[in-house]
């Protein structure tokens, strides 16, 4: 599976030499920050030369000499950019961040120059205008349509001053988004709460204490120290179990205020500037708002469709949350806690109620969910559904000791790709969970095998014990990983997760369902000390409690999604005070004060660390409609691993990439359009 990349040999910069490591992995041990700027300079120049050759080809435009050539050019640039972006997310440093700040506008200018290449677009546009007469294969036609849309959405039809201004806007946006992301990481790393007494640790189960001991050791504190950082893998269990209400409030406020502190990491003016630039970008391209611009390339298609979906969940969830509030208030009184309850109380009281109503305690469940066993569980599901085998590879030179690697094989031993897992939180890594690639699948030069990576931020311990929410996150990102690994398309532009944003979460959210399958947990959920299988009694309780507190979870998610749409739907030219806008939207929506928001605009990286989820945080619920209905296809057979259903799933969802229009792909799998009722039932918002 070793696939070296042929490049210009440049001995003084190892990033430009052939990558001869096993599987074509980057030379991580040589990827020092000082090499990137010169590597990018040469790689960008090489790609511009390739693009000029395509654009200036004296032969008339054909699909092969224009679209295929375009899809296959820029390999040197692409591999360096993927290495760079992955390191800035997963293993950054002050030196690498400095390079990132320098390169962000330059890389944006390079990308902009590609789409503003008039002669290149003329060839693409010529083919697009005669596409119905070209008799192209469906996948080739899809590539032509997608590439043409890429050019148009990037301003290829602009000219004169508008073209110049558009280039300046995208460069500044790249710089501002980089600053926003680095500010969030800086605020997260600046907070450290050291807990020193038993009183500080009151209510915390052993698995939380163990994780906090590991965090203290990672930060260089004493052997018997406990440390709390702003990593969700620590803050969320702390907020669920800590009996110290004052400390819960402190942690909740610090997490909420990331990016909203006066000083050099204040993201409020950064976000406001990003919004001004996005509005100008939309105006230059002829759209009334940035949301209108983004939704052109989404399944939803319009803000009305998005708001209709979110509205079906928002008001019912608020009504349902009132029932929960009454129950939690009663629990607070029984514990001698103050009322009315606050946002830093909800998780804590909900955990108490869950333990009482369902006799289910997360501290009782966690010993059965070791990270290693849950990795084995997700691999087992991939084998039973898709015939994949994961063979761990040792001795590879990777970018951090925590990263593990598996060769992915089919049943006959042929290679599918390489899968990397980077599962632990650390100060050099951004928070959250995500999937990325170091190399995409494609049919280029006889076939390119993907290198896929999953990032999580679990609290490292010995052993690492996961909450069931952590297990779902692990399976979610692996669903993305499978989407990248199983891709079987000819053209890289259509490969893997390069699909519409409100479709990309379907494979990931769908795969979460297998984490709750009884036979999966009975096989893999084993107590880390005794090896005993998760008892049926606990499994029954887990199933019974799966809709518990769903109104709270729905509001925590849907509130930011609605605020995102309101913000990006503002008419072009609207000046935005980020803090005031958020406060006003919370008032208009009636966001419950004792629930609050999962994301505040000052640290909302989905929106402001890049454009991927701008006017698009709704996509998780849109995809949830798809996945809830899709999983019913298995439920209707009575077998979560039904072979016929799994084959259709592989063919139309996991391996198809962007080779067909997503609504049609779903219809090909399900036999009809998706229905929203399954999602509402799953969230406990529809009882019939």
Compute the average pLDDT of residues 253-276.
97
| Last residue of one domain, picked from the residues 586, 617, 648 | 617
- Tens digit of pLDDT for each residue in 640-682? 999 999 999 999 999 999 999 999 999 999 999 999 999 988 8
Nearest to 146 by CA among 659, 663, 667: 659
Tokens 């079906």 correspond to 312
The answer as to whether 71 is a domain residue is yes
| 583 alpha carbon, distance to own chain's centre | 26
- Tens digit of pLDDT for each residue in 534-556? 999 999 999 999 889 999 999 99
The CATH number covering residue 320 comes to 1.10.1370.10
Distance CA 198, CA 354 (A): 25
The answer as to whether 372 is a domain residue is yes
Joined tokens for residue 366: 């966690």
Distance CA 367, CA 587 (A): 42
| Last residue of one domain, picked from the residues 137, 157, 177 | 157
Are 36 and 144 contained in the same domain? yes
Compute the average pLDDT of residues 253-277.
97
Are 525 and 412 contained in the same domain? yes
pLDDT at 509 over 90: yes
| 499 alpha carbon, distance to own chain's centre | 13
Are 94 and 236 contained in the same domain? no
Are 50 and 97 contained in the same domain? yes
355-370: burial string, b at 16+ Cβ within 10 Å, e else? beebebbbbebbbbbb
Cα separations (Å) of 30 from 27, 33, 526, 635? 5, 9, 40, 49
Q: Is the sign of the CA dihedral 35, 40, 41, 42 positive or negative?
A: positive
Instruction: Give me the number of domains the chain comprises.
Output: 4
**Residue 34 contacts residue 94 (beta carbons within 8 Å):** no
pLDDT at 9: 42
The answer as to whether 168 is a domain residue is no
Q: Which of 254, 280, 351, 477 is catalytic?
A: 477
Nearest to 83 by CA among 20, 40, 38: 40
**Residue 369 contacts residue 465 (beta carbons within 8 Å):** yes
pLDDT at 4 over 70: no
Distance CA 79, CA 49 (A): 17
pLDDT at 687: 63
Compute the average pLDDT of residues 459-476.
94
Are 600 and 631 contained in the same domain? no
- Tens digit of pLDDT for each residue in 409-454? 999 999 999 999 999 999 999 999 999 999 999 998 889 999 999 9
3-state secondary structure of 421: strand
Are 45 and 128 contained in the same domain? yes
Give the DSSP letter string of 93-157: -HHHHHHHHHHHHHHHHHHHHHHT-HHHHHHHHHHHHTGGGTT--HHHHHHHHHHHHHHHHTTTT
pLDDT at 688: 55
Joined tokens for residue 484: 């990248």
Joined tokens for residue 270: 């950064």
Beta-bridge mates of residue 417? 408
The answer as to whether 463 is a domain residue is yes
Range of the domain at 236: 191-256
**Residue 87 contacts residue 399 (beta carbons within 8 Å):** yes
3-state secondary structure of 497: coil
pLDDT at 176: 98
Distance CA 67, CA 491 (A): 9
Are 347 and 380 contained in the same domain? no
H-helix segments, 387-516 = 468-485, 501-512
CA 493-497-500 angle, to 5 degrees, is: 85
Computed on alpha carbons and rounded to an integer, the radius of gyration of the chain in Å comes to: 25
Joined tokens for residue 116: 């503003």
Q: Burial of 579 by CB count in 10 Å (0-12 exposed, 13-18 middle, 19+ buried)?
A: middle
H-helix segments, 335-453 = 343-358, 362-365, 371-386
Q: Which of 82-96, 157-171, 455-469, 556-570 has the lowest average pLDDT?
A: 455-469
549-575: burial string, b at 16+ Cβ within 10 Å, e else? bbbbbbbbbbbbbbbbbbbbbbebeee
H-helix segments, 495-618 = 501-512, 518-524, 536-544, 550-568, 578-589, 605-608
**Residue 668 contacts residue 633 (beta carbons within 8 Å):** no
Compute the average pLDDT of residues 511-529.
96
The answer as to whether 7 is a domain residue is no
Distance CA 368, CA 374 (A): 9
Omega cis (within 30) before 463: yes
Provide the mean pLDDT of the chain.
Answer: 95
- Dihedral through CA 564, CA 566, CA 568, CA 573, nearest 10? -150
The CATH number covering residue 640 comes to 1.10.1370.40
pLDDT at 376: 98
Are 490 and 607 contained in the same domain? no
pLDDT at 607: 98
Nearest to 586 by CA among 618, 568, 607, 562: 562
The answer as to whether 236 is a domain residue is yes
The answer as to whether 12 is a domain residue is no
CA within 13 Å, CB half, 326: 5
Instruction: For 533, list phi and psi in degrees, rounded to 5.
Output: -70, 145
Cα separations (Å) of 438 from 156, 336, 450? 28, 53, 8
Are 522 and 645 contained in the same domain? yes
The CATH number covering residue 136 comes to 1.20.1050.40
Are 305 and 247 contained in the same domain? no
The answer as to whether 166 is a domain residue is no
pLDDT at 6 over 60: no
**What's the pLDDT band for 11 if we cut at 50, 70, 90?**
low
Are 381 and 475 contained in the same domain? yes
Is residue 582 part of the annotated active site? The answer reads no
Nearest to 210 by CA among 562, 592, 466: 466
pTM: 0.93
Distance CA 522, CA 535 (A): 8
Are 613 and 628 contained in the same domain? no
Distance CA 232, CA 253 (A): 14
Omega cis (within 30) before 340: yes
Distance CA 675, CA 51 (A): 44
Compute the average pLDDT of residues 23-34.
96
Joined tokens for residue 168: 């300046």
Beta-bridge mates of residue 418? 407, 451
- Tens digit of pLDDT for each residue in 166-209? 999 999 999 999 999 999 999 999 999 999 899 999 999 998 99
Instruction: For 198, list phi and psi in degrees, rounded to 5.
Output: -65, -30
Nearest to 603 by CA among 113, 180, 310: 180
Report the 10 Å Cβ neighbour count for 445. Answer: 10
């Amino acid at each position: 599976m070793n696939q070296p990349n042929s490049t210009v040999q440049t001995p003084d910069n190892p990033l430009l030499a052939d990558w001869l490591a096993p599987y074509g992995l980057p030379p991580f041990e040589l990827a020092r920050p000082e090499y990137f700027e010169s590597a990018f300079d040469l790689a960008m120049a090489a790609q511009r030369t390739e693009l000029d050759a395509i654009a200036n080809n004296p032969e008339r435009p054909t699909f092969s000499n224009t679209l295929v050539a375009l899809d296959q050019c820029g390999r040197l640039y692409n591999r360096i950019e993927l290495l760079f972006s992955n390191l800035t997310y997963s293993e950054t440093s002050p030196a690498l961040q400095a390079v990132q700040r320098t390169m962000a506008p330059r890389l944006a200018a390079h990308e902009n120059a590609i789409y503003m290449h008039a002669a290149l677009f003329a060839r693409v546009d010529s083919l697009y205008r005669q596409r119905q007469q070209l008799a192209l294969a469906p996948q080739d036609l899809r590539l032509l349509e997608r590439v043409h849309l890429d050019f148009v959405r990037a301003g290829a039809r602009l000219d004169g001053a508008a073209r110049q201004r558009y280039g300046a806007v995208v460069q500044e946006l790249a710089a501002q988004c980089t600053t926003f992301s680095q500010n969030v990481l800086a605020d997260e790393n600046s907070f450290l709460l050291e807990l020193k007494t038993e009183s500080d640790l009151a209510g915390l189960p052993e698995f939380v204490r163990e994780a906090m001991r590991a965090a203290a050791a990672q930060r260089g504190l004493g052997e018997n120290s406990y440390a709390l950082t702003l990593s969700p893998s620590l803050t969320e269990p702390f907020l669920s179990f800590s009996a110290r209400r004052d400390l819960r409030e402190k942690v909740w406020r610090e997490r909420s205020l990331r990016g909203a502190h006066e000083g050099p990491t204040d993201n409020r003016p950064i976000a406001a500037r990003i919004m001004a630039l996005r509005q100008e970008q939309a105006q230059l391209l002829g759209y009334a708002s940035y949301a209108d611009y983004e939704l052109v390339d989404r399944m939803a298609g319009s803000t009305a469709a998005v708001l209709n979906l979110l509205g079906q969940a928002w008001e019912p969830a608020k009504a349902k949350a009132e029932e929960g509030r009454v129950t939690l208030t009663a629990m607070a009184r029984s514990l001698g806690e103050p009322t009315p309850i606050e946002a830093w109380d909800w998780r804590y009281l909900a955990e108490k109620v869950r333990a009482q109503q369902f006799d289910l305690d997360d501290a009782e469940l966690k010993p059965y969910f070791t990270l290693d066993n849950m990795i084995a569980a997700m691999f087992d599901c991939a084998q039973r559904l898709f015939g994949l085998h994961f063979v761990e590879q040792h001795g590879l030179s990777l970018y951090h000791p925590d990263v593990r690697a598996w060769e992915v094989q089919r049943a006959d031993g042929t290679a599918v790709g390489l899968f990397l897992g980077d599962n632990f939180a650390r100060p050099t890594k951004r928070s959250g969970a995500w999937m990325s690639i170091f190399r995409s699948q494609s049919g280029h030069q006889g076939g390119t095998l993907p290198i896929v990576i999953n990032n999580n931020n679990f609290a490292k311990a010995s052993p690492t014990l996961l909450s069931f929410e952590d297990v779902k996150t692990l399976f979610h990102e692996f669903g993305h990983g499978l989407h990248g690994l199983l891709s079987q398309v000819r053209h890289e532009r259509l490969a893997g997760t390069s699909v519409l944003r409100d479709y990309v979460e379907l494979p990931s959210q769908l795969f979460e369902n297998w984490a709750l399958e009884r036979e999966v947990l009975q096989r893999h959920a084993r107590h880390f000390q005794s090896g005993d299988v998760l008892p049926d009694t606990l499994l029954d309780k887990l199933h019974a409690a799966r809709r518990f507190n769903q109104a709270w979870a729905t509001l925590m998610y849907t509130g930011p999604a609605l605020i995102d749409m309101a913000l990006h739907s503002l008419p072009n030219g609207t000046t935005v005070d980020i803090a005031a806008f958020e406060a006003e939207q919370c008032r208009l929506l009636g966001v419950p004060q004792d629930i609050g928001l999962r994301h505040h605009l000052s640290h909302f990286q989905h929106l402001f660390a890049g454009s991927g989820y701008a006017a698009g945080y709704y996509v998780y619920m849109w995809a949830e409609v798809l996945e809830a209905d899709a999983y019913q296809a298995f439920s209707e057979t009575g077998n979560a691993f039904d072979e016929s259903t799994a084959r259709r799933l592989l063919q139309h969802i996991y391996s198809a990439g962007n080779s067909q229009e997503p609504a049609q792909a779903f219809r090909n799998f399900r036999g009809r359009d998706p229905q929203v009722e399954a999602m509402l039932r799953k969230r406990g918002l529809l009882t019939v």
